[in-house]
Chains A and B, each alone.
Chain A
Amino acid sequence: AAGVIQSPRHLIKEKRETATLKCYPIPRHDTVYWYQQGPGQDPQFLISFYEKMQSDKGSIPDRFSAQQFSDYHSELNMSSLELGDSALYFCASSGGTHRNNEQFFGPGTRLTVL
């Protein structure tokens, strides 16, 4: 079965640079969530989209923005990167027959800021 795809899997950036993370949800899923997991931490919700509109907002810094496109894939744009942004970024999708909000997670993008 198709799963959530994230790219790139690993990314290394310098401080103050920008980064773009991409997420491709499971086919027919209409909702995408972004989470940030710092080293040894639990995942923290950043932002979500439903039918290409922002549906909820968590602890996403103002330096970050995201959107969901017409094909339902989503991109997380991160600017003025800081050392503390180094983390694993997960995308999850839900929808279709999973209306009880069962979320399926991608493998994550590991961002390292030097």
Chain B
Amino acid sequence: GDSVTQMEGPVTLSEEAFLTINCTYTATGYPSLFWYVQYPGEGLQLLLKATKADDKGSNKGFEATYRKETTSFHLEKGSVQVSDSAVYFCALSALDTGRRALTFGSGTRLQVQP
């Protein structure tokens, strides 16, 4: 079945540091890829998405590029802030196989220190 693998956390960075959270996937079809963010005590918010190979999703300084050849969708940000501290989930859905539900990775907790 479909699966998503994320780097384990927590990831601890100083403010203004560069962030990379690795995400790779396995899918039988041609999935859409997503990054969701969950702040403490809150629900999941869509951060960015990409629906086809070489698409780059971006939002709030975060970017991720859909790499079909390496089955990856790594999340990056050039300069993190304390307010970025949250849990980040990589996810996929494979519309072409009929499975519209999201399959999530295990989540990566980011802690940004001032």
Contact = CB atoms under 8 A, between A and B. Distances in A.
B101 A58 contact: yes
Interface residues of A, number: 24
Contacts of A48: 100-101
A33 B104 CA distance: 14
Interface string A24-54: 0000000101010000011111001000000
B46 interface: yes
Chain A's interface: helix, strand, loop or mixed, by majority?
Answer: strand
B101 to A, nearest CB: 4
Range of interface residues on chain B? Answer: 20 to 34
A102 B89 contact: no
Nearest to B103: A45
Interface in B94-111: 95, 98-107
A107 B34 CA distance: 18
Contacts of B95: 100-101
B106 A42 contact: yes
B107 A42 contact: yes
Contact of B102 (A31, A41, A43, A55): A43
Nearest to B46: A102
Interface string A77-114: 00000000000001010100000111111111000000
Interface string A43-76: 1110010000001101000000000000000000
Interface of B: 32, 34, 36, 42-46, 49, 51, 89, 93, 95, 98-107
